[in-house]
Each structure stands twice: as C-alpha cells, then as structure tokens.
C-alpha cells in the first residue's frame, strides 16, 4: 500500500495552526488564572474594635466667691459636669479638704462646704469620693449634672487681711469605668 504524504506546505500550515492554538489556549488559561487570582487578592476584610473611652468636662473651672457673708451662702447651679462614656461608669465628687482654707496654715472656715446635685439635698463635701451619677454609654451630648454649693459662714470666720488673697479649696470631679 502506498501512502501519499501531505504536501510539505500543507504540513507546515497545520503545525503552525496547532502552535497558534496552543499559544492561544495558554494565554486564555493564564488570563483566567490571573483573573481568578486577582479576584482573591483584591478582596478586603475590614475589622474594627472600639476602645473604651471616657471624658469629663466641668464648666466653669474656677469660681471666685467674693460675696460670702455670715450666714448661709448658696451658689445654685454653680458647676455643670458633663460625662461622656461608651462603658458603664461612676462619676464622683471629692475635695482636697472639706474646709475652705486661707493663706495661713490655721485659717480654715468653721463649717465645711456642702454640695448637691439638682433635685437632691445638700451634703458635706468629703475627701472620700461621693457618687454623683452612675451611668452607661452616653448619648451624643453626654450626661450632665448641675452641682450647687452652700457655705455657712460664722461671725468667727474673719475676712482676710490681704484683699488679694482668698479662702480656697479644690473640688475634684472624677469619672471611672465600672468593670
């Protein structure tokens, strides 16, 4: 039996077609693979953790009480305390010493300073913190408390010789998260 081969020209054409087809197949596969890989690599996972945060604002930060007279002296709604927190908290009031103190070592007023929250009763201020509010995560404006002060002055409490000096006290408002 005699086999008649394809013409050399015809064979070259077929091999060329096969090569081109292979190259195209590889190109398609590579492009598809790259596309698939790209889809995986481009995905983005966003994670977030909110840290516990607390803020405390007091306004004003200084009170000059220049009209103290013998008798009961009230300073209604003297301080606004604003608390912001994203966790449960306790806000407290305390002081350096319960008695307003003059420049001398022994110059103390006879009666301690008293304080109250709005709607509450006056209590003697103390070095030990007293709770003014128990709260939780705050609204955008925060939680506010209006603090009033009362100072009873006796006739035995003398005015200071130096008018530039005053009886002083530091009132401290604190916020602490609850566990």
Partner 1 sequence: MTRMAIAVILAVTLSVAAWSAPGADGRWLSRGVSGLTVTPAIIQKELGRFLWLPDTRVGQINVANRGTTPIVVDFQIAGIAHNADGSIDVLPCPPEVAAGLILSPAGPMTVMPDRAAAVRLELDRAYIDMPGRSGLCAALIISSAPMPARLASQGLEVGSTIVLPVMVKLSWRDRARLAVVEACVESSGAENSRPALALKVANEGGAYARVDGRVSITAADGTRAAEAEFGPAVALPGCMRAFRMELEGPELPPGRYLVDARIRADGKAAGGAKFAVEVGPKITVSSLGRP
179 counts as binding partner 1 under rule CB under 8 A: yes
Q: DSSP string spanning 82-100?
A: EEEESS-EEEEEEES-SS-
Contact between 78 and partner 1 by CB under 8 A: the answer reads yes
* Residues recorded for the chain: 179
Q: Is position 87 an interface residue for partner 1 (rule: CB under 8 A)?
A: yes
Q: Which of 143, 171, 170 is nearest to 54 (CA)?
A: 143
**Should residue 104 be labelled a site residue for partner 1 when binding is judged by CB under 8 A?**
no
Q: Is 171 in the site for partner 1 (CB under 8 A)?
A: yes
Query: Looking at 38, 46, 62, 139, which residue binds partner 1 (CB under 8 A)?
Result: 62
Measured CA angle at 33 (ends 31, 39), to 5 deg = 100
Give the Cβ contact number of residue 132 at 10 Å. 21
Q: How far is CA 29 from CA 8, 52, 67, in A?
A: 32, 51, 90
Q: Which of 30, 37, 55, 118 lies at the binding interface for partner 1 (CB under 8 A)?
A: 55
Query: Distance between CA atoms of 88 and 3, rounded to whole angstroms?
Result: 95
Of positions 99, 109, 149, 150, contacts partner 1 by CB under 8 A: 149
User: Minimum CB separation from partner 1 for residue 153, in Å?
Assistant: 13
Instruction: Choose the stretch contacting partner 1; rule: CB under 8 A; options: 14-22, 26-34, 84-92, 154-162.
Output: 84-92
Which residues contribute to the site for partner 1 (CB under 8 A)? 51-67, 75, 78-79, 84-85, 87-88, 90, 100, 103, 113, 149, 165-179
């Amino acid at each position: 039996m005699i086999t008649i081969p394809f013409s050399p020209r015809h064979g070259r054409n077929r091999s060329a077609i096969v090569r081109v087809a292979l190259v195209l197949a590889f190109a398609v596969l590579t492009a598809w693979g790259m596309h698939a890989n790209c889809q995986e690599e481009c995905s983005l996972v966003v994670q977030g953790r909110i840290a516990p945060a607390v803020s405390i604002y007091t306004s004003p930060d200084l009170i000059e009480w220049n009209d103290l007279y013998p008798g009961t002296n009230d300073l209604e709604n003297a301080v606004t305390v604003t608390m912001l927190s994203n966790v449960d908290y306790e806000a407290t009031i305390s002081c350096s010493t319960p008695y307003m103190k003059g420049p001398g070592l022994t110059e103390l007023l006879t009666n301690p300073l008293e304080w109250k929250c709005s709607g509450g009763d006056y209590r003697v201020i103390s070095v030990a913190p007293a709770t003014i509010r128990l709260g939780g995560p705050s609204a955008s404006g925060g939680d506010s408390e209006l603090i009033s002060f009362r100072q009873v002055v006796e006739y035995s409490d003398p005015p200071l010789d130096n008018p530039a000096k005053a009886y002083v006290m530091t009132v401290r408002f604190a916020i602490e998260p609850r566990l």
